[in-house]
Structures are given as C-alpha cells and as structure tokens.
Amino acid sequence: MPPDHLDPASPVSWLRRARSNLARAKADRSLPEVLYEDLCFDAQQAGEKAIKAILLHLHVAFPKTHAIAELLTLVYENGVVVPDKLRQAGMLTDYAVEARYPGLSERVTEEEYVRAVELADQVVRWAEHILSTPPDPRGGNG
C-alpha cells in the first residue's frame, strides 16, 4: 500500500495536492509571462481537490467533475455544514476549463484573480479543519 501522501484514496493525498495548487496560484504572479487565467486554474484545482479530500474523509464517493457547487452540495448532503461564505467558491468552476485555453473566456483581471485565490484559500483551510476532526459515523461533521 502506498504512503498516505501518494494514495489516491487518501484524503491526505488530495489535501496535499490542493495545497500545492494553492501555492502555485499564489506564486510568481508578477512575472510577465504568467497569466491570471493559469493562476486561477490552480486556485480552482485547489478548491476542487480540497473538497474531494473532505468527501474521501467522509467515505463518500464523488463524481468526476470540476463543478465545485455540486461537490459542496454532496458534502452538505453528507452531514457537513457548508459555511455560506464558502458557497461562493462555486464561481471557481469557471476557471476549470474555459480559462485554460486561448479564446474560450475573457481575460481574467487582477481583481478576479485575487478573489479566486481568497476563495481557494478559504476552502483549503476549511478542508484542513474538517480533516483534523474524526468523521462522525452518524454523519454531521463540521
């Protein structure tokens, strides 16, 4: 069995990757070659992977999707309170595909980038909190 940080069924592994994406989203935005679109993609990936870590922690199967609102609904349906401020993270889904390729979306502004990173950071911190709490076998974490 692989160590937790390499195991695709481990919440720890998913959270590790979420932290990596978040770190990349925050890094080197001042370089002229770096596009906000790409940094926002990393912010979206951080949020998505953090939520999937929560779902694994709860022993809940999740669909192959980038739709953060759908994943948050699944967390809620499995007994975890989703703070209102985190429901806004659903907007990160827009950066999952369209922002990655030329011509599929508008240019991302610095303001949009800052908001995306703030939301991703909040989701990752929330996931860290959830994962630090043992799952309740009756449901109702968080």
Is residue 103 predicted with pLDDT exceeding 70?
no
Give buried/exposed letters for 12-51 (b at 16+ CB in 10 A, else e): bbbbebbbebbebbeeeeeeeeebbbbbbbbbbbbbbbbb
- Mean pLDDT along residues 77-90: 94
- Distance, in Å, from the CA atom of 59 to the CA atom of 121, rounded to the nearest integer, reads 23
What does the pLDDT look like over 40-74, one tens digit per residue? Answer: 999 999 999 999 999 999 999 998 999 999 999 99
- At residue 28, the pLDDT reads 80
pLDDT of residue 138: 54
Tens digit of each residue's pLDDT (9 = 90 or more) over 111-133: 999 999 999 999 999 999 999 98
CATH superfamily of 4-131: Nucleotidyltransferases  domain 2 (1.20.120.330)
- What lies within 8 Å, CB to CB, of 34 at 6+ separation is 28
